[in-house]
Amino acid sequence: MTVRLDAHHHLWSPTRRRRWLDNPELAAIRGPYWLPELRDVAARCDVDATILVQTIPDEAETLDFLELAADSAGLVAGVVGWVDLTAPDVPGRLAALRQARGGDRLCGVRHAVQAEPDPNWLDRADVRRGIAAVGRAGLTYDLLVKPPQWGAALRLARDLPDVNVVVDHAGSPPVAGELGPWTRWSTALAELPNVSVKLSGLLGLGPVDRVLPVIDHVVSTFTPWRVMAGSDWPVCELFTPVSTVWRIHELATVRLTAAERTAVLAGTARAFYLSAAGRAGPHRS
Mean pLDDT by 10 residues, the chain (285 residues): 90 73 83 95 97 96 97 97 98 97 97 98 98 97 98 98 97 95 98 98 92 96 98 96 96 95 97 62 40
Q: Is residue 236 a contact partner of residue 202, using CB atoms and an 8 Å limit?
A: no
For residue 17, what pLDDT is reported? 55
Residue-range domain boundaries for the chain: 5-280
Dihedral angle computed from the Cα positions of residues 167, 170, 174 and 178, in that order, rounded to the nearest 10 degrees: 100
Predicted local confidence at residue 277, as pLDDT? 29
Predicted model pTM: 0.95
Residue 18: its pLDDT value, please? 61
For 201, left (φ over 0), alpha (ψ -120 to 50), or beta?
Answer: left
What was the pLDDT predicted at 26?
Answer: 84
| C-alpha to C-alpha distance for 272 and 166, rounded to whole angstroms | 8
Quote the CA–CA distance of 225 and 138 in Å, as a whole number. Answer: 19
Predicted pLDDT of residue 278: 38
Residue 30 pLDDT: 85
**pLDDT for 283:** 42
Alpha helix locations (H) across the chain? 35-44, 59-70, 90-99, 125-136, 150-159, 180-190, 208-222, 242-252, 258-262, 268-269, 276-280
pLDDT of amino acid 38? 98
Under 8 Å between Cβ of 232 and 204: yes
pLDDT of residue 252: 94
- CA 169 – CA 205 distance, rounded (Å): 10
Q: What is the pLDDT of residue 285?
A: 38
**By three-state DSSP, how is residue 16 classified?**
coil
Helix (H, G, I), strand (E, B) or coil at 167: strand
- Give the homologous superfamily in CATH for domain 5-280: Metal-dependent hydrolases (3.20.20.140)
The secondary structure of residue 256, as a DSSP letter, is S
